[in-house]
Chain A
């Protein structure tokens, strides 16, 4: 296996897009290629992520994207892994390039859901769960994560203040991110006064429905030696799964897929959790960030809430978490999310992150969850 890079990355402003997902995807793809110093013609394969493409009445969008990029002859396929679709696409691109099947691969993730109302969007998201055994029994996505929060509180005494601390921190980071859906800070009182969606999760515990697009160019160092930006070395690209239904898992306070993917990634990279300088983790709900920090080995089980309240995961803390604002405040355009986490790490490594720049950027980790943890990707990035 050869050393493989993310040589270019780009994302648009998350929120509400006037253009289609396909149009936004093509534009971020060109931006990522420009940053890598490559042309579309240098790409050997395209992996597209667009889990809810049917909401735009469009499937098989890869060839349309490649056609728009002037490379209709290049093979493509759509990778679907719910909210971890574009990190799964990155994993496929890594496998192709690291193994030498291709010299360069393009990863493009995009989603457009803002034309749906809340009821329709909630219903679309519910089919990402186990429909007959969860959603048909009344669960929505916030409801499923609320059961995790409920079990976590019962086992560890997790408090509202700890969930709120995640929301306040991530909004503060997003306020410094020009790509973010929500570019405003919130106070704990604002958090506390927001309406309950699925107890104990309030509105400000939940990520928004966002439109957005992100793209990555994956290539091998020796092939393209002059990228316009410092590339990320992919030190590890790991994925794992868990039982599809939360209630059937032995523990409801941890995502086995995240623990397994993290173990694989740390082993592949030859690093320990304590060596990671900053992380982008999957905080679709505030409880998800706490569970992620525990599953990734950054804090002992039941301790991530306290650590967050003490500021350890703030931008200037010992382990900055979600300097982008995370899914919670940067936004969560399902299939763009995983690639956008890597785009944030690309910005941070190149010291282009402006007011949200973190101090240390030697090693970074991206954690991207599909559905309620039945899929998880963990990537670790370093320098050449």
Chain B
């Protein structure tokens, strides 16, 4: 019986690195949509809702609403110099949710569930959101 060589493995439609590369280098957020309508901005090869493997690339604008969040005063080492800051879960306009952080949101009173936010490319780690008042982001048309 023939063995299973590396070339016979199912192809990876995308990699975890591509997510980070997207927001760090390509000014885009990667998302995927399955045939059943499940949208995710998290890496995976099979849809957890319907089991489909043909996850299609799904453009994400990075705009949406905060559905859960917290202001953290005790950070991990990567964020040592930015605390306190908000960590938020955002329901995206194109469906699905993603997480990110909001530098400068230092008090619970400044974090409002339901507020509109947008992704802001940055040299800092991770996905950064800022309040979306409808105006064009600074430095972008």
**Size category, B interface:** 35 or more
Q: Determine if B68 and A154 form an interchain contact, defined as CB atoms under 8 angstroms apart.
A: yes
| Bound form: Cα–Cα A149–B89 in Å | 12
Q: Which residues of A contact B19 (CB under 8 A)?
A: 132-133
Q: Are B125 and A147 in touch, CB under 8 angstroms? A: no
Q: A137-B100, A247-B98 are in contact. Are A197 and B72 (CB under 8 A)?
A: yes
Interface size on A, as a range, is 35 or more
Task: Report chain A residues within 8 Å CB of B69.
Answer: 147, 150
Minimal beta-carbon separation of A123 from chain B (angstroms):
5
| Contact present for B80 and A119 (CB under 8 Å) | yes
Instruction: Decide if B113 touches A196 in the complex (CB within 8 Å).
Output: no
Contacts of A142 in B (CB 8 A): 70, 72, 74
Chain B residues near A151 (CB-CB < 8 A): 67-68, 89
Does residue A359 face the partner (Cβ distance < 8 Å to B)? no
A245 to chain B, nearest CB (A): 5
Query: Are B40 and A248 in contact, with the CB atoms below 8 A?
Result: yes
A133, A140, A196, A199: the one contacting B99 at CB < 8 Å is A133
Q: Contacts A136-B125, A196-B73 known; A143 to B87 CB distance under 8 Å? A: yes
Q: Is the CB of B87 within 8 A of A137?
A: yes
Contacts of A147 in B (CB 8 A): 68-70, 87-89
Within the complex, the shortest CB–CB distance from A182 to chain B, in Å, comes to 19
Contact of A119 among B73, B77, B99, B100 (CB under 8 A): B77
Interface string of B83-100 (1 = CB under 8 A from A): 001011100000011111
When each residue 286-330 of chain A gets 1 if its CB lies under 8 Å from chain B and 0 otherwise, what string results?
A: 000000000000000000000000000000000000000000000
Interface residues of B (CB under 8 A from A): 16, 19-20, 40-43, 48, 67-80, 85, 87-89, 96-101, 108, 111, 113, 125-127
28 contacts between A and B (CB under 8 A): A119-B76, A119-B77, A120-B77, A122-B75, A133-B19, A133-B42, A134-B99, A135-B76, A137-B127, A139-B72, A139-B87, A140-B72, A147-B87, A149-B70, A150-B68, A195-B73, A197-B72, A197-B74, A198-B70, A198-B71, A199-B70, A201-B70, A246-B89, A247-B68, A247-B89, A247-B99, A248-B97, A252-B68
